[in-house]
Chain A
């Protein structure tokens, strides 16, 4: 089955700097890669996703890149703000029917003011 590795497990950046979180996956059939942000005690919130027919997607300060050949994808947050502090999870799945998302172990991002 699918296996998703996520690095780093913790990341501290100064406010205004960029943050990059990287994930790799094992199943070449996976074609859907969402990123979730989870604040303490709350539900994971979808912040951006990418499908395998594109290599990059951007939404304001957040961007995701996908390299299908290397089976890795990354989250980029620019101009970080204290409210970006949270745990970020990457996930991968075959985007159909009842195939579940497989999550990485998460990255705890701290943005220092």
Chain B
């Protein structure tokens, strides 16, 4: 199947700092990528839809100024958590859709904000 990578796999940062997470589709082009957040023992909650060459579409309740998304190419989307706080600690997972419209997930990034 298609491969989606994510970097870093885990990050620990101090409160108030910004963290950038990269999502790459390694063997296919993805005009659309999705960013999810998953808290322990909960389901995946969609944060935003990342569209190559245009602005991301954010879900209700997700602050666009706090979670900056950039989809600069057909294989790369980035999520920047700005001014991170402990409540932002979570498992962030991206996914990318291939031309067959099947969605593949990255391995996730575990963010811990101290």
Interface residues of A (CB under 8 A from B): 32, 34, 36, 41-46, 49, 89, 95-98, 100-106
Contacts and interface: CB of A to CB of B under 8 A. Distances in A.
Interface in B68-90: none
B67 interface: no
Give the size category of B's interface with A: 20 to 34
Interface of B: 1, 31-32, 34, 42-44, 46, 49, 51, 57, 91, 93, 95, 101-108, 110
A59 to B, nearest CB: 13
Interface class of chain B by DSSP: strand
23 contacts: A32-B101, A41-B91, A41-B108, A42-B107, A42-B108, A43-B105, A44-B44, A44-B93, A44-B105, A45-B105, A46-B1, A46-B104, A89-B44, A95-B101, A96-B101, A97-B32, A98-B49, A100-B34, A101-B34, A101-B46, A101-B103, A102-B46, A106-B42
A107 to B, nearest CB: 10
Given A44-B105, A46-B104, A97-B32, 17 more contacts: A34-B102, A36-B105, A41-B91, A42-B108, A43-B105, A45-B105, A46-B1, A46-B103, A89-B43, A95-B101, A98-B32, A98-B49, A98-B51, A98-B57, A100-B49, A102-B46, A106-B42
A5 B67 CA distance: 28
Contacts of B32: 97-98
Given A96-B101, A100-B49, A43 B44 contact: no
Nearest to A51: B101
Contacts of B44: 44, 89, 103
